[in-house]
């Protein structure tokens, strides 16, 4: 995808506005997005949350181009300038938490060896949101169907 369609822009911005985060906003509107574009849009939303802290109708096109062209210095300078404009005190801790979560999740995937129940418990005991856990569980559950009951019970108790 070279450019965001008007439909995708509207959906992502609406989701971000409703949830306060582009990545959570993506999860909010995920079912309305085209399947062949979903992964790239999810990566874009995560990139915006970590690198900028948010976006609007006025800068989403520029941010998407910066995401697609990470070696374009002029676009990356625009991203940095935007980040400085909208930076808020909690931004750094939020970005650090998101990066830490991503690292933990990647390590967890590497270590899942048929016993997804233990991996699920690890995730649920940490501070991930329910939506983050559900998204991760979809991938884990493909390897271990017996974990379905454990997941349902753990989420309902949480």
SS3 129: coil
Domain count, the chain: 2
Question: Which residue, chain included where needed, has tokens 């995808």?
Answer: 1
Query: Please, are residues 137 and 103 in contact by the beta-carbon 8 Å criterion?
Result: no
Range in 29-38, 47-56, 68-77, 94-103 the model is least confident about = 94-103
Do 78 and 101 fall into the same domain? no
Q: In Å, how far are 36, 61, 95 from 81, measured between CA atoms?
A: 32, 15, 17
Residue 96 has pLDDT above 60, yes or no: yes
Q: pTM to 2 decimals?
A: 0.55
Range of the domain at 122: 91-157
SS3 76: helix
Do 79 and 107 fall into the same domain? no
pLDDT at position 84: 79
Reading the block at residue 16, the tokens are 């971000």
What does the alpha-carbon distance between residue 112 and residue 68 come to, in Å, rounded to a whole number?
31
In a domain, 144, yes or no: yes
In a domain, 139, yes or no: yes
What is the CB neighbour count within 10 angstroms for residue 18?
Answer: 12
């Amino acid at each position: 995808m070279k450019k965001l369609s008007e439909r995708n822009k509207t959906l992502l911005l609406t989701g971000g506005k409703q949830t306060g985060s582009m990545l959570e906003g993506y999860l909010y509107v995920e079912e309305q997005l085209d399947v062949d574009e979903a992964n790239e849009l999810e990566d874009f939303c995560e990139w915006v949350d970590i690198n900028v802290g948010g976006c609007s109708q006025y800068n989403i096109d520029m941010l998407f181009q910066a995401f697609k062209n990470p070696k374009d210095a002029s676009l990356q300078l625009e991203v940095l300038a935007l980040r400085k404009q909208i930076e808020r005190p909690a931004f750094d801790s939020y970005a650090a938490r998101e990066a830490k979560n991503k690292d933990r999740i990647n390590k967890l995937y590497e270590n899942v060896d048929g016993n997804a129940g233990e991996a699920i418990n690890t995730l649920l005991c940490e501070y991930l949101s329910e939506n983050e856990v559900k998204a991760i569980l979809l991938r884990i559950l493909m390897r271990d169907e017996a974990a379905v009951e454990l997941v349902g019970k753990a989420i309902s108790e949480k």
